[in-house]
Structure 1
Amino acid sequence: MTILVTGATGHLGRLVIDSLIARGVDPSTIRAGARDAAKASDLEARGVQVVRVDYNNPETVAAAVDGADAVLLISSSEVGKRIAQHQVVVDAARAVGVPKLVYTSATKATTSDLVLAPEHKATEEAIAAAGIPAVILRNNWYTENYAADVARAKETGVIAASAGDGRVASASRGDFAEAAAVVLTQDGHIGQVYELGGDVAWNFDDLAAAASEVTGREVRYTPLTTEEHATALEAAGLDAGTIGFVTTLDANIRDGALAETDGTLSRLLGRPTTPLIEGLRAAL
């Protein structure tokens, strides 16, 4: 069985490969797809096949997909370009009749107001239209996304956000990577859409408490209005596009876009998801 992992040099991709090998997959049957193969030399040293996968170059994608029994399409990091890039992989998978395509989507992608949802929704629709046997992994937020906030809080004692009392059902990247490895290697998942999140949905007071424990100093959460948050981000030197993205995301969180968790991730893993404090400590 040959498994292609796209985006293999990214944080999630590397962890997926780690999880596949930990589950007993022969490294020589894993294809690590990377835009820059030189960045995957460590994977090659472990016996993993390294192939060039550039979402902007359909020929590289077609060659990498050919002969694969399962393909993990890790969503592109280029927000705004994802739909066209993902379509390249979908088209290649359809052309060669890939038996299983696994896609890392976003929570409630087809119905959510989450700022990142539209590109994921379009990709899910493209996969369905192609008629490819697929598994959709709708990943909630990575705990590691807040590592930089906690690192700053070690100096300032403050985590400021405009998320109100919104909750985030985050889990560690390792948890989501292991779930991907499970569905790539097990039968019985085709056609499933899994809403994946941590066992506990925390709010930003909880995040501040976790930061206090991890950093060893008191950290408090300072709730801001959207306008106050935008002003603070502008003062920090962020551009208008980034400010709009960050404040919209916090508004999504405030409205509950990342709050739902039903235990699906822990059931796939066969264990509890990584607690917030442990995830942050490992990330730092």
Structure 2
Amino acid sequence: MRTAVVGGNGKTGRAVRDALARRGVDSVSIGRGEWPTLASAMAGCESAYLIAPNLHPDEPAYVAEALAAMRTAGVTRVVYHSVASPYAPQMPHHLGKARSEDLVRRSGLSWTILQPGAYLQNLDLGADLAVPYDVHAVFGFADLGEVGEAAGVVLTEDGHVGATYELASRVASPADLAAETGHRAARVEVAVDHPWLRAMFDYYDRHGLPVGTRPLSMLLGRP
């Protein structure tokens, strides 16, 4: 079995490739340089893990092009890396993933969708924590390595075709996480140029981003 990891040079792609390697699965990393010849780059791959660049201005178009290349290359299995709560009208980049999920479901390929929460690794938990939103907002945080392991499970084991899984390792607020390591958390105002980021922080202020932990526990075989 050989798997293409589209977007495989970023932190998520590396985590997925490492997890596949531990399962004895060969993978090929496909970055932006291979995009003009995407179908050729995926030749010989039976499956693909699809990650779009962060805040892509037109993720549905990106995903549609990738899916078309997969069909041309003979890929029959795709796992799409989405986001927790994709249908959130206040966050345009989440809506892009919701529309992309629809494309994946109608692609004609055997599909699975993973919807991870915010990565724990995005927070510096070794010092006082500063975030541009309410420190008491509740999130379902996902450990990057565990997301990679979940990807390895759904790509290599039976029973996951047609499934959509939200992924979180734990539920907490930034204030909770900081307190666990003896630090403080504070909200800080930062200059934000991208309107989608401002919309995201405003959403976090009001609603956080809760995600349940049971699906990830199930995929990793935890009691």
Q: Counterpart in 2 of 1:240?
A: 193
- Amino acid in the other structure paired with 1:207: L
Residue 182 of structure 1: how far off its partner (Å):
0.8
**Are residues 1:208 and 2:205 paired?**
no
Residues of 2 paired with 1:257 and 1:219: CA distance? 21
Residues 2 and 67, structure 1, Cα contact 8 Å, conserved in 2: yes
- The change in CA–CA distance for 1:165 and 1:115 in structure 2 (over 3 A counts) is farther
Using the aligned pairs only, state the percent identity: 28
1:105–1:127 CA distance, 2 compared to 1 (3 A):
same
Partner of 1:31: 28
Whole-Å separation in 2 of the counterparts to 1:160 and 1:174? 23
Secondary structure at the counterpart of residue 124 of structure 1: helix
Structure 1 position 259 matched with structure 2 position 210: yes
| d(CA) in 2 for partners of 1:168, 1:138 | 13
Q: Structure 2 CA distance, aligned partners of 1:144 and 1:62?
A: 32
CA–CA separation in structure 2 for the residues paired with 1:141 and 1:262: 13
1:14 aligns with 2:14: yes
Q: 1:30 to 1:129 in 2, by over 3 A?
A: same
**Are the structure 2 counterparts of residues 222 and 128 from structure 1 closer, same or farther at C-alpha, using a change threshold of 3 Å?**
same
Partner of 1:193: 164
Structure 2 residue identity aligned to 1:233: V
Deviation string for 1:97-155 (max 9, x for gaps)? Answer: 422111000112135644531111121111223222110011111111113xx46xx3x
In the alignment of these two chains, the number of paired residues is 223
Write the letter of the residue equivalent to 1:79: H
Q: Whole-Å Cα distance in 2 between the matches of residues 257 and 113 of structure 1?
A: 13
Aligned counterpart, 1:180: 151
Q: Distance in 2 between matches of 1:2 and 1:87?
A: 22
Which aligned segments of 4 or more residues in structure 1 are displaced greater than 6 angstroms?
A: none
For 2:157 and 2:55, the matched residues in 1 are separated by 30
The range that moved more, 104-113 or 82-91, is 104-113
Contact 1:107 1:140 in 2 (8 A): yes
The aligned amino acid for 2:193 is: A
Distance 1:97 1:189 in 2: 20
Give the AA of the match of 1:94: R
Superposed displacement of residue 83, structure 1:
2.4
Residue 5 (structure 1) aligns with = 5
Distance 1:125 1:20 in 2: 26
The one-letter amino acid of 2:30's match is G
Matches within 5 A, 1:85-96: 85-96=62-73
Distance 1:21 1:165, change over 3 A: same
For normalisation by structure 1, the TM-score amounts to 0.70
Q: Is the Cα contact below 8 Å between 2:84 and 2:117 reproduced in 1? A: yes
2:8/2:29 contact within 8 Å kept: yes
CA distance in 2, matches of 1:18, 1:185: 14
Other-structure match for 1:143: 120
Query: Is the contact made by 1:162 and 1:247 (CA closer than 8 Å) also made in structure 2?
Result: no
Please report the RMSD computed on the Cα atoms of aligned residues, expressed in angstroms: 2.4
User: 2 CA distance for matches of 1:187 and 1:94?
Assistant: 21
* Rg (Cα) greater in structure: 1
- Letter paired with 1:32: S
Q: Answer yes or no: is the 8 Å Cα contact 1:183–1:189 preserved in 2.
A: yes
Mapped contact 1:97–1:132 kept (Cα < 8 A) = no
| TM-aligned CA distance change 1:112 to 1:24, over 3 Å | farther
More helix by percentage:
1
Q: What are the ranges of 5 or more consecutive residues in structure 1 without an aligned counterpart? A: 37-52, 224-228, 273-284
How far off its partner does 1:91 sit? 1.1
Q: Distance in 2 between matches of 1:13 and 1:202?
A: 25
Displacement, 1:194?
Answer: 0.9
8 Å contact kept, 2:45–2:75: yes
